[in-house]
Structure 1
Amino acid sequence: MISYNKRRFLIVDDFSDFRASVKGMLSQMAAQHIDMAANGEEAISLCREQQYDIILHDYNLGEGKNGQQVLEELHHAGLISPQCIFVMVTAESSQAMVMAALEFEPDAYLTKPFTRASLQQRLDRLVERKVALQPILAPLTKQQYGAVLQACEQIIASQPRYAPLCQRYKADALKTLGLHEDLEAQLQSLLADRPMPWALNMLANHWLEIGNLEQAETLLEQGISQFPMLPALFDALSQVKLAKGELLKAQVFLEQAVKISPNNSQRQAQLGKLARANHDPDRAVRAYRQAVNLGRHSQFRDPEAHLNLAGSLQDQAGDAAPSPKAMLEIRQTLGDVSKGWRHDPGLTARADLVQAKSLVKSGKQVEADELVRNASRKLGKMDTFFTAAAALEVASQLRELGQPEQADTLLGTCAEMYGDDPKIMAGIAEQTTNPAILQAGEQAQAQNREGIRLYQQQQYPAALDSFRAAQALQPRNISFALNTAQSLLRLLLTEPTDELREECLACLDQLRSMPSSDHRHERYRKLCERVESL
Structure 2
Amino acid sequence: MIDYSNKRVLIADDFSGFRSSVTGMLRQMAVRNVDAVATGEETLALCRNTQYDVILHDYNLGEGKNGQQVLEELHHTKRISPHCIFVMVTAESSQAMVMAALECEPDAYLTKPFNRASLEQRLDKLVQRKAALKPVLEAVSRNDPQAVVDACRTITQEQPRLATLCQRYLADALAQLGQDAELETLLSGLVGDRPLPWALVALANHLRARGKLDEAQALYERGVELFPMLPALFDGLAAIHDARGDSLAAQQCLEQGVRISPHALQRQVELGKLARRNDDYAKAARAFRHAVGLGRNSAFRSPETHLQLAATLTEQDGPGVINSKVLLEIRQTLAEVDKTWKDDPTLIARSNLLQGSALIKNGQKSEAERYAQMASERLEGFEGSLAPDTVLDMARQLRDLGRADTADSVLSTCAEMYGDDPAILEQIAAQTDNPEILKAGEQAKTCNREGIKCYQQKHFPEALELFRQASASQPRNISYALNTAQSLLQLLAQTPDEALKAECLRSLGQAHNMPTSDKRYERYQKLRRAADAL
TM tier, smaller: over 0.9
Give the Cα separation in 1 of the matches to 2:500 and 2:147.
35
Deviation at 1:99, TM superposition (A): 0.1
130-139 or 211-220: bigger deviation: 130-139
Deviation at 1:143, TM superposition (A): 2.0
262-271 or 148-157: bigger deviation: 148-157
**Does the 8 A contact of 2:384 with 2:413 survive in 1?**
no
Q: Write the deviation string for residues 282-319 of structure 1: whole angstroms up to 9, x where unpaired.
A: 11010000010111100111111101111111121211
Deviation at 1:383, TM superposition (A): 5.5
**Does the 8 A contact of 1:383 with 1:513 survive in 2?**
no
Give the Cα separation in 1 of the matches to 2:233 and 2:532.
42
287-296 or 475-484: bigger deviation: 475-484
Give the Cα separation in 1 of the matches to 2:59 and 2:50.
21
Partner of residue 374, structure 1: 374
Give the Cα separation in 1 of the matches to 2:532 and 2:122.
48
Deviation at 1:140, TM superposition (A): 1.6
Deviation at 1:239, TM superposition (A): 0.4
492-501 or 379-388: bigger deviation: 492-501
Name the SS for the 1:211 alignment partner: coil
165-174 or 67-76: bigger deviation: 165-174
Q: Gaps spanning 5+ residues in structure 2: where?
A: none
**Does the 8 A contact of 2:235 with 2:254 survive in 1?**
yes
Partner of residue 361, structure 1: 361
Deviation at 1:379, TM superposition (A): 1.0
Partner of residue 97, structure 2: 97
Deviation at 1:409, TM superposition (A): 1.7
Partner of residue 244, structure 1: 244
Alpha carbons of 1:497 and 1:150: their partners in 2 closer, same or farther (altered >3 Å)? closer
Deviation at 1:529, TM superposition (A): 8.6
**Does the 8 A contact of 2:156 with 2:166 survive in 1?**
yes
Name the SS for the 2:191 alignment partner: helix
Give the Cα separation in 2 of the matches to 1:532 and 1:131.
31
Count residues in correspondence: 534
Question: For 1:473-492, what aligned pairs fall within 5 Å after superposition?
Answer: 473-488=473-488, 490-491=490-491
Alpha carbons of 1:494 and 1:31: their partners in 2 closer, same or farther (altered >3 Å)? same
Give the Cα separation in 2 of the matches to 1:529 and 1:181.
20
Give the Cα separation in 2 of the matches to 1:389 and 1:259.
29
Q: What amino acid is aligned across from residue 21 of structure 2 in structure 1?
A: S
278-287 or 456-465: bigger deviation: 456-465
289-298 or 189-198: bigger deviation: 189-198
Give the Cα separation in 1 of the matches to 2:211 and 2:530.
31
TM-score calculated relative to the size of structure 2: 0.94
Name the SS for the 1:192 alignment partner: coil
TM-score calculated relative to the size of structure 1: 0.94
Q: What amino acid is aligned across from residue 358 of structure 1 in structure 2?
A: A
Partner of residue 156, structure 1: 156
Q: What amino acid is aligned across from residue 207 of structure 1 in structure 2?
A: L
Name the SS for the 1:255 alignment partner: helix
**Does the 8 A contact of 1:57 with 1:67 survive in 2?**
yes
| 1:395 maps onto 2:403 in alignment | no
Q: What amino acid is aligned across from residue 268 of structure 1 in structure 2?
A: Q
Q: Write the deviation string for residues 458-498 of structure 1: whole angstroms up to 9, x where unpaired.
A: 32211111112212332221111232244345546666677
Give the Cα separation in 1 of the matches to 2:495 and 2:183.
36
| 1:115 maps onto 2:134 in alignment | no
Deviation at 1:389, TM superposition (A): 2.1
Partner of residue 187, structure 1: 187
Name the SS for the 2:245 alignment partner: coil
Name the SS for the 1:279 alignment partner: coil
CA RMSD, Structure 1 to Structure 2 (Å): 2.3
**Does the 8 A contact of 1:8 with 1:53 survive in 2?**
yes
Partner of residue 348, structure 1: 348
Deviation at 1:501, TM superposition (A): 6.2
Name the SS for the 2:48 alignment partner: helix
Deviation at 1:447, TM superposition (A): 1.6
Question: For 1:65-214, what aligned pairs fall within 5 Å after superposition?
Answer: 65-214=65-214
Give the Cα separation in 1 of the matches to 2:73 and 2:277.
30
Name the SS for the 2:256 alignment partner: helix
Give the Cα separation in 2 of the matches to 1:180 and 1:509.
27
Partner of residue 439, structure 2: 439
| 1:309 maps onto 2:297 in alignment | no
Question: For 1:262-301, what aligned pairs fall within 5 Å after superposition?
Answer: 262-301=262-301
Partner of residue 429, structure 2: 429
Give the Cα separation in 1 of the matches to 2:218 and 2:532.
46
Work out the percentage of aligned pairs sharing the same amino acid. 57
Partner of residue 468, structure 1: 468
**Does the 8 A contact of 2:12 with 2:58 survive in 1?**
yes
Give the Cα separation in 2 of the matches to 1:87 and 1:503.
46
Name the SS for the 1:109 alignment partner: strand
